[in-house]
């Protein structure tokens, strides 16, 4: 007897079956909480209470008894699993950067809403194997239980997509955050986690996965979270690309903005750097970008952010702007401005 046969909730389902009732939203509508600024990110692992919360449509309240995940589309065996079946898969832990992409209404504004956390869950590849994906499948569509309107645009659900080829990069259906059950605002009882992708792609309150050949038709995939594609000179080509991979970025944690440091003494400039695929170089400028110096950068550890340090001895009193610039291992460098991953600038005073 197969694992599917042992668990009725994981058997193939009839696509014409009645859909579950809509979850109660509490709160309903747009909701966010931004606990920490960059200079407050002193800990390697971010406490759950300090992780950015951004809910476009509200927070569905779903019990583990009521939760079901439908897997359909380009699969040989359309499937529904329950929460108990999800927990039966091998338990996987992934430490990774979790970053908000910023407002889809102002995508050029650097938000710097970032954390580094540990997710626990089942590998999405293991779960999808139950449904036997077809070779033609290229993308995974993820549906959330949230619904309503965002920026006055009606949304039946929060629907996102990502390449099926990403499965080999530790994509999870997560049910724990930092060793405890997911809080409601972080997707309880289960959510997607796509390490290396901006948080907007990691659908919370996950209820359905559809395998497809093309991108999903959703406001969150067509209207928002698409950036202009740029040529080698930085000019728009007219095409647009989805906001998937996290671009190289860094923040200076210390010294904090408006701090005073003493001329003639060592000032340790420290912080974090990250990117999809990791960072292989971190530069620091102590003169608003006129000159750059290589900082000491930690080697990548899994998908976590990397610490950096540059020891600087200021020689003259006066205002100074510190800047950090990350170089991605897969290419890309932080731009000066007008992008979500623009260089982080910290004004301080030398006394």
Q: What is the pLDDT of residues 50-60, one digit of tens each?
A: 999 999 999 99
User: Domain 249-350 falls in which CATH fold?
Assistant: Immunoglobulin-like (2.60.40)
Say how far apart CA 98 and CA 95 lie, in whole Å: 9
CATH code at 3-228: 3.90.420.10
* pLDDT at residue 9 is higher than 90: no
Which position has the higher pLDDT, 230 or 287?
287
Residue showing tokens 């997911």: 182
Task: Report the SS3 class of residue 308.
Answer: strand
**Residue 21's pLDDT band (boundaries 50, 70, 90)?**
low
Task: Please give the model's pTM, rounded to 2 decimal places.
Answer: 0.90
CA distance 288 to 346: 9
CA dihedral defined by 234, 112, 259, 50, rounded to 10 degrees? -170
Residue spans of alpha helices (H) in the chain:
3-6, 83-87, 124-129
Residue 171: name the closest of 46, 276, 52 by CA: 276
Q: What percent of the chain has pLDDT over 70?
A: 94
Q: Where are the domains of the chain?
A: 3-228, 249-350
pLDDT tens, position by position, 145-197? 999 999 999 999 999 999 999 998 899 999 999 999 999 999 999 999 999 99
Per-residue pLDDT band at 20 (split at 50, 70, 90): low
- Position 17 scores a pLDDT of 40
């Amino acid at each position: 007897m197969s694992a599917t046969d042992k668990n009725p909730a994981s058997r193939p389902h009839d696509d014409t079956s009645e859909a579950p009732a809509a979850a109660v939203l509490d709160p309903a509508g747009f909701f966010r909480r931004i606990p920490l600024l960059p200079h407050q990110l002193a800990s390697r692992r971010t406490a759950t209470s300090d992780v950015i919360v951004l809910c476009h449509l509200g927070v569905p309240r779903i019990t583990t008894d009521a939760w079901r995940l439908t897997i359909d589309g380009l699969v040989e065996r359309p499937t529904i699993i329950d929460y108990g079946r999800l927990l039966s898969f091998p338990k996987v832990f992934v430490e990774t950067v979790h970053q908000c992409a910023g407002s889809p209404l102002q995508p050029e504004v650097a938000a710097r809403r970032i954390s580094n956390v540990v997710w626990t869950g089942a590998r999405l590849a293991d779960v999808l194997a139950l449904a036997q994906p077809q070779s033609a499948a290229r993308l995974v569509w993820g549906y959330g239980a949230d619904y309503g309107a965002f920026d006055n645009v009606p949304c039946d659900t929060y629907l996102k997509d990502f390449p099926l080829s990403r499965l080999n990069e530790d994509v999870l259906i997560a049910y724990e955050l930092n060793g405890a059950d997911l809080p409601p605002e972080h997707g309880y009882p289960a959510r997607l986690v796509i390490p290396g992708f901006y948080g907007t792609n990691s659908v919370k309150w996950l209820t359905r996965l559809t395998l497809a050949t093309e991108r999903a038709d959703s406001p969150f995939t067509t209207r928002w979270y698409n950036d202009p594609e740029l040529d080698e000179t930085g000019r728009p080509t007219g095409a647009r690309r989805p906001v998937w991979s996290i671009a190289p970025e860094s923040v200076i944690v210390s010294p904090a903005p408006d701090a005073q440091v003493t001329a003639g003494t060592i000032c340790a400039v420290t912080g974090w750097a990250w990117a999809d695929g990791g960072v292989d170089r971190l530069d620091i400028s102590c003169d608003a970008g006129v000159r750059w110096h290589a900082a000491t950068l930690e080697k990548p550890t899994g998908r976590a952010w990397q610490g950096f340090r540059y020891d600087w001895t200021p020689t003259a009193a006066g205002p100074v702007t510190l800047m950090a610039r990350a170089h991605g291992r897969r290419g890309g460098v932080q731009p000066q401005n007008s992008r979500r991953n623009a260089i982080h600038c910290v004004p301080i005073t030398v006394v």
